[in-house]
Amino acid sequence: MNNVIVDNINNIVRQEDVLIHLGDWSFGGFEKIEEFRNRIICQEIHLVLGNHDHHIEKDHEGCRKHFASVDWFRQLNYLGETIELMHYPIASWNGLNKGRIHLHGHVHLPNNKKFGNGRRMDVGVDGNPDFAPYDLRRLINDMRKRPIGSELGVDDHHTDELINKDK
């Protein structure tokens, strides 16, 4: 599976593109961190730490040098959208009531269960039937069609007023 994922990343993400990885880079162990990085042709990789990334979090033997950035959380502005990125799914996030998108990994959901209520999605490649990364442009277009909502449903007071939808 890992070989297919690396091959698919290299087939989709060009050398000059930006890859944002939402965690568990070092799931295969410390010795795999550099090996996976060396196999991926994309030069700019940003890592949002996952629960298996303790070696990277602690910068064991300087392994953070393989990434353009390493964070527990990242907020991205792209194509007029503000996107909240974490390894973990969260029930309510900053700007949820304004239509902000929350992308995450961690839960390894199959393709038919990737979307949560509102604009939340599990983008883990292992749940993608093609074992491939998602194109952020297409993903944003799909998410814009989804209603604004929360995993907490009517109990989330952040969705009470959806009038001011400034991103």
Predicted confidence at residue 160, as pLDDT, reads 62
Using alpha carbons only, give the angle 165, 48, 83 rounded to the nearest 5 degrees. 10
Structure-block tokens of residue 140: 């944003």
Whole-number Å distance between alpha carbons of 87 and 100: 17
Over residues 110-133, the pLDDT tens digits come to 778 898 888 999 999 888 888 899
Q: Which of 18-22, 45-49, 105-109, 153-157 has the lowest mean pLDDT?
A: 153-157
Q: What is the pLDDT of residue 85?
A: 98
Residue that wins the pLDDT comparison between 93 and 103: 103
Residue 16, CA distances (Å) to 10, 13, 22, 41, 91 in order: 11, 8, 19, 9, 34
Is the model's pLDDT at 82 over the cut of 90?
yes
Domains and CATH numbers, the chain: 2-147 (3.60.21.10)
The answer to whether the beta carbons of residues 111 and 131 sit under 8 Å apart is no
Model confidence at 57, pLDDT cuts 50, 70, 90, reads very high
